[in-house]
Amino acid sequence: MATIGSFEGFQPVSLKREEDDQPFENDHVSTEEEEVEEEDLGKDRGPRQISRQQSVTKSTLYPNPYHQPYVSRKYFATRPGAIETAVEDLRGHVAQTSGETVQGFWLLTQIDHWNNEKEKVLLLTDKTLLICKYDFIMLSCVQMQQIPLNAICRICQGKFAFPGMSLDKRPGEGLRIFWGSIEGQSLLSRWNPWSTEVPYATFTEHPMKNTSEKFLEICKLSGFASKLVPAIENAHKNSAGSGRGKELVVVIQPILIETYMGLMSFIGNRNKLGYSLARGSIGF
């Protein structure tokens, strides 16, 4: 390599990558030591100045998914006009099929006998309690369960309780409505997670209860109970059938949910599979 520098017209060069010529943010363009050395060497050259071109583009994730208003909109029930459309649809259906008038409605979470959460719209008339599975994405009623008020014999309210060896427990309080005896429930319906022959229904408050004053009113469990109890008592008094003369029993005690492993409810409840929920974008 020394002989190459001796040829006239050739200058020695150092091999380095192109990236090495790019300045880094922590590099100093000129220092006092470099200026002193240049003055000592008698070089008539000013300090180096390298201009950095700022990026003219800006990438922003919008809307911010961690901002509270947008978190609540993940639930289709909270989107503008969704709950109003559901109530109007169900009111019309009840008026056409039974001729009854809806006295009140609520948005609650039903907990089945396998501890699975399901979003439900409840409607109360003078004679019937309607438990509706409503698809807030397609705005249509998927399933409706009608329970005569004069058939309801017991209401239990209290904290949730589980067997000692249960692996999937939940905190909070609920309300359970009985229209039959648990002792008369068959073993098959008790251990079938999709059984519709369970003689009771368990409810708790919807996760979006604190979204607004409107949802605080329709998702509050105590408000639902305060309307349900007198409606059942009046239905018993006015009943002309076998339910006449019955008395409603209201008790405050733990609500037992007999699940042990709870793998299905663990996966479903953590991912909110029982709710009409925005699952996020799939594409890019």
Per-residue pLDDT, 71: 67
Confidence band, pLDDT 50/70/90 cuts, at residue 252: very high
Per-residue pLDDT, 246: 75
Per-residue pLDDT, 25: 45
Instruction: Output phi, psi for 268, to 5 deg.
Output: -65, -45
Per-residue pLDDT, 259: 85
Q: Is the CB of residue 277 less than 8 Å from the CB of residue 76?
A: yes
Tell me the HSE value of 51 on the side-chain side, using a 13 A CA sphere. Answer: 2
Per-residue pLDDT, 168: 80
Express each pLDDT in 113-131 by its tens digit: 899 999 999 999 999 999 9
Q: Rounded to an integer, what distance in angstroms lies between the CA atom of residue 158 and that of residue 171? A: 11
pLDDT surpassing 50 at residue 27: no
- pTM score: 0.72
Express each pLDDT in 60-94 by its tens digit: 544 444 345 566 778 999 999 999 999 999 999 99
Confidence band, pLDDT 50/70/90 cuts, at residue 31: very low
Q: Which domains are present in the chain?
A: 68-270 (2.30.29.30)
Confidence band, pLDDT 50/70/90 cuts, at residue 26: very low
Q: Is the CB of residue 243 less than 8 Å from the CB of residue 151?
A: yes
The mean pLDDT of 5-9, rounded to a whole number, is 48
Confidence band, pLDDT 50/70/90 cuts, at residue 57: low
pLDDT surpassing 70 at residue 48: no
Relative to beta strand 104-111, strand 200-205 is antiparallel
Tokens found for residue 191: 């251990």
Express each pLDDT in 143-168 by its tens digit: 999 999 999 999 999 999 998 888 88
Q: Percent of the chain scored above 70 by pLDDT?
A: 71
Distances (CA, A) of 270 to 110, 167, 197: 15, 14, 26
Per-residue pLDDT, 29: 43
The mean pLDDT of 30-38, rounded to a whole number, is 47
Got the DSSP string for 170-183? --SEEEEEESS-ST
Distances (CA, A) of 269 to 131, 245, 283: 20, 41, 25
More confident residue, 54 or 199: 199
More confident residue, 232 or 42: 232
The mean pLDDT of 216-240, rounded to a whole number, is 93
The mean pLDDT of 177-200, rounded to a whole number, is 81
CA-closest candidate to residue 183, choices 203, 199, 164, 195: 199
Q: Considering the chain, what is the average pLDDT of its residues?
A: 80
Per-residue pLDDT, 185: 74
Q: Percent of the chain scored above 90 by pLDDT?
A: 51
Confidence band, pLDDT 50/70/90 cuts, at residue 279: confident
Residues 6+ apart with CB under 8 A from 199: 178, 179, 180, 181, 182, 184, 185
